[in-house]
């Protein structure tokens, strides 16, 4: 497996940990359905997307450029 293959899982796990630490009682689920290729999306269950990157190609530069701490902070602000 190429290192880029872990880019999505690593960042998703970081977002999950940040949201669960910052918002009491939140349940974060990773890929409840088969994920779309080249897409990274954070959304409320049955609701709007908080963040979306679509149709990315290797080496996923847009995803790697995301500041996860800032992203989590922005989502937490929207949730509160």
> Taking the domains of the chain in order of start, what are their residue ranges?
3-79
pLDDT for the residue 55: 93
The backbone region for 38, taken as left when phi is positive above 0, alpha when psi lies in -120 to 50, beta otherwise, is left
pLDDT attached to residue 4: 47
Model confidence, pTM:
0.87
Q: Which positions of the chain have pLDDT values less than 50?
A: 1-2, 4
Rounded to whole angstroms, the Cα distance separating 66 from 21 reads 19
CA–CA separation, 79 and 75 (whole Å) = 6
């Amino acid at each position: 497996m190429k290192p880029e293959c872990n880019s999505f899982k690593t960042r998703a796990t970081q977002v999950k940990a940040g949201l669960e630490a910052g918002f009491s009682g939140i349940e974060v689920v990773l890929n409840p359905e088969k994920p779309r290729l080249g897409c990274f999306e954070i959304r409320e269950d049955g609701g709007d997307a908080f963040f979306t990157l679509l149709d990315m190609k290797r080496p996923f530069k847009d995803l790697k450029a995301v500041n996860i701490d800032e992203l989590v902070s922005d989502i937490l602000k929207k949730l509160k």
